[in-house]
Amino acid sequence: MAQAGAASAGKSSLGRIGTHLAVLFFVAVWTLPTLGILVTSIRDKDQIIASGWWTSFTSSSQTEAGRLPPPNTAVEKDGKYVLEGSVFAEPGERGISAFGTRIQNPTEYPAGTVADLGDGETLLIDADGNFVLTYPAAQDGKRGLRIYFAATVPPRFTTENYETVLLSEGIGRSFINSLTVTIPATIIPIMIAAFAAYALAWMKFPGRALLIAVVIGLLVVPLQMALIPLLQLYNGVGAFFGVSSKTYLGIWLAHTGFGLPFAIYLLRSYMAGLPRELMESARIDGASDFEIFVKIVLPLSLPVLASFAIFQFLWVWNDLLVAMVFLGSSADQLVLTGKLNALLGSRGGDWEILTTSAFVTIIVPLIVFFSLQRYFVRGLLAGSVKGG
């Protein structure tokens, strides 16, 4: 008995360690990209292009190009003509590790060494960026020598990226538009799905099994496949009643339709696992189905309701396709994701805007998640343990 107990305790201890390691792994997988977005969003634009965010707290090396002054400005010294100066347009903390005169080999010569350029010409570039270019005779050229060098740049951080995004015209309006879309589009499907889930879990009526099968089948319907038929149906109904399709009501209904199958499935799985004795006791005491739903089922279902609220809020807040189709892209209708996408332009190469916009968009979902995270795990386990 003692040996069995020790073995059981050992397995339990190993299980806890494995669980903790798995949790730490998933926390790291989720946290590292978020940290990378945050760090990149406050880095200098040139450093974002040159190196990864994990190098942002140390000096980085990047290859730059420049052009020295024209040869005809060289000054005669000891029978030779010399050009002196700095390769850096502005003084700073940068240094040079190597230089070259050909794009094929931009770091051909170490800093501090004299490079023989041929025909008696030499070039010396020190680690601090000072250069000395020597000609054997007077020159009449008006185009300076093209040089390349590997510059060591200290880490630079800036708030200009956030100023560009947050102070751009229309960003406040688009933020309000996103909240106006997201909050009702999260609450409406929860209200409908809660009633439907209780009915499918605890009420007996003809066709219940068929309805459950239809809900499960709708889970696999791609949003993109149903978008156009849904839009045509909505436009037809709107034209019949004289209602414009580009309204908040349209996008609320669209997100409700796309979110209901998962909401009903998740809530029904949880409600079906509630203890049957509670329901039977309430019915014996004369409670109606509505009273059981409001006074017993809803309070006990708070974890799964909060879990679905997190999922639905994230889906709607980060949505761009449905918003562009059902709401439009005018200045007074554009949601936050659409506005930030417009800031990137057609090229999409402004990494500093991209990362800053990404972090701006996840601030509100993070607030929602951490506000409801104590219910999240319990909600994810919905229906995994059935009541007696």
Sheet with 130-135, edge to edge strand ranges: 75-77, 80-86, 130-135, 121-125, 114-118
Nearest to 161 by CA among 50, 47, 331: 47
Mean pLDDT on 268-288: 87
Q: Where are the domains of the chain?
A: 60-153, 162-380
Question: How many H helices and E strands in the chain?
Answer: 14, 9
Q: Contact 127/96 with Cβ under 8 angstroms? A: yes
Give the range among 71-85, 225-239, 319-333, 365-379 with minimum mean pLDDT.
365-379
User: Which residues neighbour 48 within 8 Å (Cβ) at sequence distance 6 or greater?
Assistant: 40, 351, 352, 355
Which tokens go with 65?
């190009």
User: Helix 248-271 crosses helix 302-317 at what angle (to 10 degrees)?
Assistant: 150
How far apart are the C-alpha atoms of 114 and 124, rounded to whole Å? Answer: 5
Calculate what percentage of the chain has a pLDDT beyond 70: 89
pLDDT digits (tens, 9 = 90+) for 146-202: 999 888 878 888 888 888 888 877 888 888 999 999 999 999 999 999 999 999 988
The alpha helices in 149-247, defined as continuous H runs, are 160-166, 171-202, 208-218, 223-241
Going from the C-alpha of 372 to that of each of 23, 190, 255, 261, the distances in angstroms are 18, 15, 21, 22
Residue with tokens 């009915």: 199
Tokens for 337?
């994701």
* Tens-place pLDDT, residues 308-357: 898 899 999 998 888 888 887 777 788 888 888 777 765 456 777 888 88
Q: Could you list the beta-strand ranges (E) of the chain.
A: 60-67, 75-77, 80-86, 95-100, 109-110, 114-118, 121-125, 130-135, 146-153
Q: Which of 365, 308, 325, 321 is nearest to 187 (CA)?
A: 308
Under CATH, domain 162-380 is a member of which superfamily?
Answer: MetI-like (1.10.3720.10)
